[in-house]
Amino acid sequence: MEGENGEAVRNKQVVFRDYVSGLAKDTNMEVRESTVKLRLPEGSSGLLVKNLYLSCDPYMRIRMTKVDVPGNADPFRPGSPITGYGVARILESGHPNFKKGDLLWGKTAWEEYSLITAPETCFKIADTDVPLSYYTGLLGIPGLTAYSGFFEVCSPKKGETVFISAASGAVGQIVGQFAKSFGCYVVGSDGSREKVDLLKNKFGFDDAFNYKEELDLDAALKRCFPEGIDIYFEIFGGKMLDAVLLNMKLHGRIAVCGLISQYNLEQPEGVHNLTNLILKRVRMEGFLVFDFYHLYPKFLEMVLPQIKEGKIVYVEDTAEGLENAPAALIRQFSGRNVGKQVVVVSHE
Amino acid sequence: MEGENGEAVRNKQVVFRDYVSGLAKDTNMEVRESTVKLRLPEGSSGLLVKNLYLSCDPYMRIRMTKVDVPGNADPFRPGSPITGYGVARILESGHPNFKKGDLLWGKTAWEEYSLITAPETCFKIADTDVPLSYYTGLLGIPGLTAYSGFFEVCSPKKGETVFISAASGAVGQIVGQFAKSFGCYVVGSDGSREKVDLLKNKFGFDDAFNYKEELDLDAALKRCFPEGIDIYFEIFGGKMLDAVLLNMKLHGRIAVCGLISQYNLEQPEGVHNLTNLILKRVRMEGFLVFDFYHLYPKFLEMVLPQIKEGKIVYVEDTAEGLENAPAALIRQFSGRNVGKQVVVVSHE
């Protein structure tokens, strides 16, 4: 390995330029080359890692907007590399829970080599019998989001009807498969024929539609759910939420995971049909995966065997190399990706 | 009593004319005189009653709009009397649970005498040591709404911050007093100085503001809740909900009881800040009191002693006579009432 004795090596980085209002573009980021010494700072309890896979996620659009929001959604810092979730190999460890050579997933930066200063927020990867990139998706944040959102927030019952928007994405495809194997009737919507085909023929949804081809979302939902919707797993937001509100069943539940159709807008669209929350006694609950980290071991225990038995499948959209990372992120914001958007930094 | 032997007597009625879009007016109803025989139909298991007090409620505006909604909110029937909750004296009973002379509260019609065909939905009034009209408000649907909405839907904890919109109304004034005695910090908003004065000086709210005098609702809420809102008891809707969403604390709860600012609009306003449901992990839940009828005895057991000890007070706005009922209902829709709007049909 280059730089093994601490000499400076090249460190390609994807640097955030400045805050964005409205549509984000790949020129809001720039790929630069800097150098880094492959040695932990003296006395550091952090980790020096080589990044392998990076995750492109819709919430990152929010982090491009300079707003004061609590918790995870801290804005990116202009002039600094994009940060996000990824899979990495440990080159040097100052933390007792990790050692050189371990693989981890957690919060890292969009660059070849990173210093992780909060290793306690990272998960060591124990099972490498699955594609490593899955730890940015099915076995990482999106997977735990799907698991906790569906099983903990939606309170599902067998036989209930489930609707998922942005259903072929990183989270949606997993929610749909969980809901099907749990015994629900599952319909998804997404924005292209190719994605609808995936939903029906690869992920086993009972039905699916392309919202871009529907003149009337309310009518599309009434066609798919003549008796109404028990559970809405909300990823898309906006007009879809309004149409869903007209079609919820009594005591239905809406888990609000994302509102991705809104993130690129200067002003979010208004949602008009909230009176249905009362008439139909609907619970609508926003959640973030960070509140459910304690469930990760239980989640892995359930999902790893299912992956190996082929009972759960996962579709990724892969961009090769950091040079292509800005475009991949923007593709993801506009829904042009098919499946979970991943950036490969290095195959090692 | 006139008509005691079954002869026809005058029956003044408030008849619904036709469905309304936008602002309702008192001319959407008309006061007519018909006659009725004060005798139960042969074999009826219903009740013949003399109506004493009638309740004006915001949800009745929805019933003036011809829409297909489930459950309670069945539209009024043009040409028939307005129906709603009221207090009545039984003149004749065909039902084993009720006898002549009993007082009840439940669903009746806006007329002097009514035939109640579903007595099982009515409650016999046992305690008459309180103002009878309270059974249209504090001891009826609004009271049980406040009780179940606050204690069951809001999941309150001592010391939490509570915000109530339309706070001096039939439900809001009770929620505020429950929340105070439970140990919460309670702020209300309403639409006049007189109402704000009631909130602060009669109902014991910690703070209150007149939303019509605030240029910026977000700023008003930040002034009242520098640390944010744990519980929002939503009655008003629209712009207030949007401002509240910006000020919710992590894991806050919004109980959606009503959205009265929207009922008179042709198109409901859009709500734009739902992303905060995710960022702050907020649960927003619509509810209807009908799901909590089983709690009525427990509610009475708590609240009756508090009324008698003066620990809970209740302000009513009273209209005398059925002739004044249409105007009273319209006053209530536009928030010109002060306190719970009641119509007195007869003092007996």
Segments in chain B below pLDDT 50: 1-2, 70-72
**CA dihedral sign of residues B228, A279, A223, A153:** positive
Q: Is the pLDDT of residue A6 over 90?
A: no
Which pLDDT tens digit goes with each residue over A197-237? 999 999 999 999 999 999 999 999 999 999 999 999 999 99
Q: What are phi and psi of A17, to 5 degrees?
A: -85, -65
Check if CATH label 3.40.50.720 holds for domain A141-290. Answer: yes
pLDDT of residue B72: 43
- Fold classification of B8-137+315-344 is Quinone Oxidoreductase; Chain A, domain 1 (3.90.180)
Q: Which region holds residue B189: left if phi is over 0, alpha if psi is between -120 and 50, else beta?
A: beta
Cα distance from B72 to chain A (closest Cα, Å)? 8
Judge: A71–B285 Cβ closer than 8 Å, yes or no. no
Amino acid identity at B272: H
For A16-55, what is each residue's pLDDT tens digit? 999 998 899 999 999 999 999 999 999 999 999 999 999 9
Task: Considering the domain delimited by A8-137+314-344, tell me its CATH architecture.
Answer: Alpha-Beta Complex (3.90)
Q: Do domains B8-137+315-344 and B142-290 have the same CATH topology?
A: no
Contacts of A174 (CB under 8 A, 6+ apart): A138, A142, A143, A146, A147, A312, A314
CB within 8 Å: B285 and A284: yes
Mutate to test the interface with B, among A275, A285, A293 (most CBs of B within 10 A): A275
Contacts of B257 in chain A (CB under 8 A): 278
Contacts of A271 in chain B (CB under 8 A): 270-272, 274
Set of chain B residues whose Cβ sits within 8 Å of the Cβ of A288? 278-279, 281
Cα separation of B187 and B205, whole Å? 6
Count Cα atoms within 13 angstroms, Cβ side, for B224. Answer: 28
Distance CA B99, CA A146 (A): 57
The complex scores an ipTM of: 0.91
What number of CA atoms fall less than 13 Å from residue B273's CA on the CB side?
A: 17
- The partner residue sitting opposite A268, judged by closest CB among B71, B258, B272, is B272
Task: Please give the residue of chain B at the shortest CA–CA distance from A257.
Answer: B278
Q: How far is B59 from chain A (nearest CA, A)?
A: 10
The pLDDT of residue A73 is above 80: no
Nearest-Cα distance to chain B for A275, in Å, is 7
Q: Are strands A340-344 and A207-210 parallel, antiparallel or unpaired?
A: unpaired
Separation between Cα atoms, residue A254 and residue B345, nearest integer Å: 44
Closest partner residue to B278 (CB to CB) among A256, A273, A279 is A256
B265 touches A: beta carbon within 8 Å = no
Query: Which residue has tokens 């009908």?
Result: B290
Contact B270 A274 (CB under 8 A): no
pLDDT at A83: 96
Cβ <8 Å between A285 and B284 = yes
Beta strands A47-55 and A340-344: pairing type?
A: antiparallel
Give the span between the Cα atoms of A208 and A197, in whole angstroms.
Answer: 8
Q: What's the rounded mean pLDDT across residues A3-8? A: 66
Mean pLDDT of A43-68: 92
For residue B246, the chain A residue with the least C-alpha distance is: A69
* Domain regions of chain B by residue span: 8-137+315-344, 142-290
* A117 and B CB contact within 8 Å: no
Binary contact (B269, A268; C-beta < 8 A) = no
Tell whether A290 lies on the interface with B, counting CB pairs under 8 A.
no
Q: Would the pLDDT of A277 be above 60?
A: yes
Q: Is the pLDDT of residue A71 over 50?
A: no
pLDDT given at position A72: 43
Query: How close A92 gets to chain B, by Cα (Å)?
Result: 35
Residue in A241, A256, A281 nearest the CB of B286: A281
State the pLDDT at residue B264.
80
pLDDT digits (tens, 9 = 90+) for B107-145: 999 999 999 999 999 999 999 999 999 999 999 999 999
pLDDT score of A194 more than 90: yes
Chain pair A-B, CB pairs under 8 angstroms: 109
Instruction: Give the architecture-level CATH label for domain B142-290.
Output: 3-Layer(aba) Sandwich (3.40)
The CA distance from B288 to the nearest CA of chain A, in Å, is 6
Chain B residues inside the 8 Å CB shell of A268 = 272-275
Q: Are B133 and B155 in contact (CB under 8 A)?
A: no
Smallest Cβ–Cβ distance between B286 and the set A62, A271, A278 belongs to A278
Q: What is the structure's pLDDT at B73?
A: 60
Nearest by Cα to A51 from A15, A12, A5 = A12
Q: Which of A146-160, A254-268, B61-75, B109-123 has the lowest mean pLDDT?
A: B61-75
Within a 10 A sphere around the Cβ of A77, how many other Cβ atoms? 12
- Which amino acid would we find at residue B164? I
The partner residue sitting opposite B268, judged by closest CB among A259, A268, A272, is A272
Residue B155, chain A, CB below 8 Å: the answer is no
